[in-house]
């Protein structure tokens, strides 16, 4: 599934990020491919907020749609 389809509270592993700049930036933030994170909030029609540890970041809806994730149990 893609990141924009996750629901708040859903844990997932990042499989791929189909945007080079976003991929590099995500590595810096610590949410690289292979990282495990949790969907924190989804703003209606807007960005997805994800959390990894104490780190929170927001991704625009169109970017979230280009990120493949694998849901994992809690």
Partner 1 sequence: MAQECCEPQVEAVHEGDRRVVLAGNPNVGKSAVFHGLTGVYVEVSNYPGTTVDISSGRLGDMVVYDTPGVYGISQFNEEERVAREVILQADVVVNVVDAAHLDRDLFLTLQLLDMGFPAVVALNMMDEAKANGLAIDVAALSEALGVEVIPMVATRGQGIEKLREAIGRARPGRITPALQKLLPQVTPAADALLIAEDDEDACRRHGMAVPGTREEVYRLRRERADEITAKVVRETTEGASLSVRLGRLSLHPLWGSLMLIAVMVAVYYILAVGVAQWVVGITEEEWMGGYYIPWITALGSRMLNPDSFLGKGLFGEFGLLTMTVSYILGLLLPMVLGFYLILSFMEDSGYLPRVAVLVDRWMNKVGLNGRAIIPTILGFGCVTMATMSTRLMGSQRERTIASFLLSLAIPCSAQLAVIAAMLAPLGAGYFVLFGLILFLVYGAAGALLNRVLPGESTPLLIDLPPLRWPNLANMLRKTFLKSKMFLFEAGPIFAAGSLLISAMDAWGILDRLQQGLAPITEGWLGLPRAAANAFIMGFVRRDFGAAGLYDLSLTAHQTMVALMTITLFVPCIASVMILLKERGRKEGALIWVADLVLAIFTGGLLHRILLVF
DSSP per position, the chain: -BGGG--TT-EEEEEEE--HHHHHHHHHHT--TT-EEEEEEE-TTS-EEEEETTEEEEE-HHHHHTEEEEEE--
Residue 30 in the binding site for partner 1 (CB under 8 A): yes
57 belongs to the binding site for partner 1 (CB under 8 A): yes
Should residue 26 be labelled a site residue for partner 1 when binding is judged by CB under 8 A?
yes
Residue 15 as a binder of partner 1 (CB under 8 A): the answer is no
Residue 21 engages partner 1 in binding (rule: CB under 8 A)? yes
Q: 24 or 72, CB closer to partner 1?
A: 24
């Amino acid at each position: 599934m893609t990141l924009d389809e996750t629901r708040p509270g859903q844990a997932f592993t990042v499989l791929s990020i189909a945007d080079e700049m976003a991929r590099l930036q995500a590595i810096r933030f610590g949410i690289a491919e292979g990282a495990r994170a949790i969907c924190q909030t989804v703003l209606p029609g807007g960005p997805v907020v994800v959390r990894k540890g104490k780190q929170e970041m927001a991704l625009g809806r169109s970017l979230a749609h280009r990120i493949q994730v694998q849901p994992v149990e809690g």
